[in-house]
Amino acid sequence: MTELMLRAPAPPVTPAEAGWRWLSYRSLRVAGSAPLETGGDEVCLVNLGGTLSARVGDDRHSLGDRPSPFADLPRALYLPPGTAATIEGEGLVGVCAARADAGHPVRPIAPEDVRVEVRGSGNATRQINHIIAPEFPAHRLLVVEVLTPAGNWSSYPPHKHEQDRLPIENDLEEVYAYRFEAPEAFGVQRLYSRAGDLDETWTVRDLDVLLVPRGYHPFCAAHGYHGYYLNALAAEKRSMAAEDDPDLAWTRDAWPGMTRDPRVPITGKETA
């Protein structure tokens, strides 16, 4: 897959098509029921809007009644490799997957299990919902949601995670799967390198998907509508370590002198 920005309806992302090792992603529209086989992947199902559940063997796991990511905290479900499931209901599911050599038990993730972090300040205030954090019992998969108030920036200061040099930076594969509150809503996404060999800026809309194999990747929600993206990531080591762009890292030090945006958290209550 040579394109980095995949327009809605975005095709499935696979390691072979993306040119990386582990990470897969697709947005699955369900109307009734849809079978799912995890194969050699560990999978996290995230309700992106709708009334949904998943059956695994004799067990039924609710994925919640979530009108949109802007209405409620998520319900999600972790599935190990070699699992057969059936997704039932009406709505949209984010299927985040990573190749895994070892499995962990099926685990439902309730809203109260999601750690809510308010990050940044001023017009860089945003909400992070940690669904599968580094401490979660998984092999390579990491999953977070980011809600960015209208007019604000997130993934800021711009950061990258393309080299294995912990504790400064981890080698992470990543996708951004966007949702917006209305068809006319949009955001602005940049992906660039300091060397200048990569420098792209896109207008992004509902259900677009960005591949992040490398580079810094800041986002801005246009005035009038909140922005959302689901981040699916995969790494050999369970760390979200990233390095800020040295030219813009100073902005992080300016946050203590700013007022935090009172619109955040948009959903739920801050727990981190």
pLDDT tens digit sequence for 234-256: 999 999 999 999 999 999 999 99
Of 1-15, 24-38, 122-136, 177-191, minimum mean pLDDT range: 1-15
180, part of any domain:
yes
Q: Is residue 271 part of a domain?
A: no
The domain spanning residue 44 has which CATH number? Answer: 2.60.120.10
Provide the number of structural domains found in the chain.
1
Task: Kindly state whether residue 116 falls inside one of the protein's structural domains.
Answer: yes
Judged on CB neighbours under 10 Å (0-12, 13-18, 19+), 60 is exposed
Task: Read off the pLDDT of each residue in 261-270 and give the average, rounded to a whole number.
Answer: 98
Buried b (16+ CB within 10 A) or exposed e, 211-242: bbbbbbbbbbbbeebbbbbbbbbbbeebbbbb
CA distance 94 to 87: 12
264 lies in a domain?
no
Residue 272 lies in a domain: no
Q: Could you tell me if residue 48 is inside a domain?
A: yes
Domain assignment present for residue 266? The answer is: no
In a domain, 37, yes or no: yes
Coil vs helix vs strand at 113: helix
Rounded CA-CA distance 193/170 in Å is: 16
pTM strictly above 0.85: yes
Residue 1 has pLDDT above 90, yes or no: no
Range of the domain at 64: 5-257
Nearest residue to 267 (alpha-carbon basis) of 226, 233, 234: 226
Tokens at residue 137, please?
Answer: 């019992």
